[in-house]
Amino acid sequence: MNKSIKKGFIGLLLLSVVLSGCQKTPAPAESNQPGTDVQDKVTGSREEIAKAYVETLGAGDFDKLLQGFAYDEQMQKASSQLQASLEPSLKQLGALKEIQTANEIQQGGYIIVQVPVLFENQNLCVNVVFDDQDQIAGVNFSEYVEPSNVAALTLPEGAAEQELTLTMRDGKDLPATLTLPQGDQPAPVIILVHGSGPNDRNETLYGNTVFQDIAYRLAEQGIATVRYDKRTFVYGAECAGDTQFTVEQETIQDAVDIVGLIAKQPEIDSSAIYVLGHSLGGLCMPRIAAETPEAAGYIMMAAPVTDLASLMKMQYEHLAQFMNTDQEKASMEAMIAELDKLQQLDSLSEDEAVVGAYPAYWKDLLSYDPVKTAETITKPVLVLQGEEDYQVPLQEFETWKAAYGEKANWTFHSYSGLSHLMMPGDFDANPNTYYMQKAVVDPRVTDDIAAFIHAQK
Question: For residue 180, is it within any domain?
Answer: yes
Mean pLDDT in consecutive groups of 10 residues from the start of the chain, 457 residues: 35 27 34 47 92 92 90 81 75 88 76 88 87 88 73 94 97 97 93 93 87 98 97 90 96 98 97 98 98 98 90 81 72 81 89 89 95 98 97 96 98 97 84 73 99 94
Q: Where in the sequence is the domain holding 295, given as residue range(s)? A: 160-307+368-455
Distance CA 447, CA 307 (A): 30
Question: For residue 357, is it within any domain?
Answer: no
Distance CA 213, CA 202 (A): 8
Residues 6+ apart with CB under 8 A from 289: 275, 295, 298, 374, 376, 377, 379
Residues 222 and 115 grouped into a single domain: no
Question: For residue 293, is it within any domain?
Answer: yes
Distance CA 24, CA 28 (A): 13
Question: For residue 314, is it within any domain?
Answer: no
Contact between 6 and 321 under an 8 Å Cβ cutoff? The reply is no
Residues 303 and 425 grouped into a single domain: yes
Residues 296 and 210 grouped into a single domain: yes
Distance CA 243, CA 266 (A): 39
- Predicted pLDDT of residue 93: 84
Residues 45 and 138 grouped into a single domain: yes
- Predicted pLDDT of residue 435: 65
Residues 123 and 198 grouped into a single domain: no
Residues 202 and 104 grouped into a single domain: no
- Predicted pLDDT of residue 21: 31
- Predicted pLDDT of residue 1: 37
Residues 178 and 279 grouped into a single domain: yes
| Number of domains the chain contains | 2
Alpha-carbon Rg for the chain in angstroms: 23
CATH number of the domain where residue 68 is located = 3.10.450.50
Question: For residue 411, is it within any domain?
Answer: yes
Question: For residue 321, is it within any domain?
Answer: no
- Burial of 190 by CB count in 10 Å (0-12 exposed, 13-18 middle, 19+ buried)? buried
Question: For residue 335, is it within any domain?
Answer: no
Contact between 355 and 312 under an 8 Å Cβ cutoff? The reply is yes
Q: Is the dihedral of CA 366, 370, 373, 375 positive or negative?
A: negative
Residues 198 and 274 grouped into a single domain: yes
- Predicted pLDDT of residue 436: 66
Residues 407 and 284 grouped into a single domain: yes
Distance CA 192, CA 177 (A): 11
- Predicted pLDDT of residue 430: 65
- Predicted pLDDT of residue 90: 80
Question: For residue 337, is it within any domain?
Answer: no
